[in-house]
Amino acid sequence: MKLDRPFPYRLYLVMSEADCHGRDPLWVAEEAILGGVDIIQLREKGAAVEVFLKKAAQLKTVTDRYDVPLIINDDLKVAIRVGAFGMHVGQQDLPPSGVREAWSDCRLLGYSIERLEQLQSAEAALADYLGVSPIFRTATKTDTVSEWGIAGIRQLRGLTDKPLVAIGRMNRGNVAAVIQAGADCVAVVSVICAADDPRAAAADLKALINNAIAI
C-alpha cells in the first residue's frame, strides 16, 4: 500500500471494542469500510499490550482484505508488532520524534493538536497529518482543554499545508461545514460504531463529505 497523494482519505473511523456496544467490532469495521470508511484507527486505552495486540491483529485481517490502512493509537509496541500502517499520538503520548526514532517503517504518523501554539512545534512538523481535537467537545474524548469549532479549522487551514483531520462530535449535520472550512478528512467514533447500520451511516457521511469537496 502506498500514498498516491499526501493524504488520500476523507472518512476516518476511530474505534474500540467498547465503542461497538457489544457487537462484533470486526463486523462493525467491515460494514464501515463497505460504506466508505477510508482508514481505521484502533484505540484501546488502558488495555494490556497483549490484549491490544490481539485485537489489532484481528482487525488487521479485515483492513488488509480491503486495503484500508490500520492506524494504532498510542502504543508503539502494538503498532510495530502488528505491522500497522501507522500510528496516532496525542499531546500526552509518546511524541512524534520518539515514534520516528523507534519505528522507521511508520508510513503515516498523526499528531493531535489542542492549542494554536502547538501547530508550529517541532513535534507537529514531524507528523504526516494533524488531528484537530476536538472540533466540539464529546463524551468519548474528555481529556482535552478546548474546542476548535468551525472557525478554528478555518484559522488552522490558513496557517499550515499539513492535512487536517477533524474529530470531536462530527455528525451528518456538521461534516460539510468542517470540510468547507478547510479540513481534509473527518474522523468519527460513535456516529458509525453505535449506528444501527454502520454501513449506511458511513455511506451517508461519505456522500456528504464528497459533496462538500465538490462545491
User: CA 153 to CA 199: how far, in whole Å?
Assistant: 27
Which pLDDT score is estimated for 145? Answer: 52
Distance, CA of 204 to CA of 207 (rounded, Å): 5
Neighbouring C-alpha atoms within 13 Å toward the C-beta of 181:
20
Residues of the chain with pLDDT under 70: 1-5, 138-145
Chain segment 123-173, per-residue pLDDT in tens: 999 999 999 999 997 555 554 457 899 999 999 999 999 999 999 999 999
What's the pTM value of the predicted model, to 2 decimals?
0.93
Count CB neighbours of 125 within 10 A: 13
Active site residues: 43, 112, 141
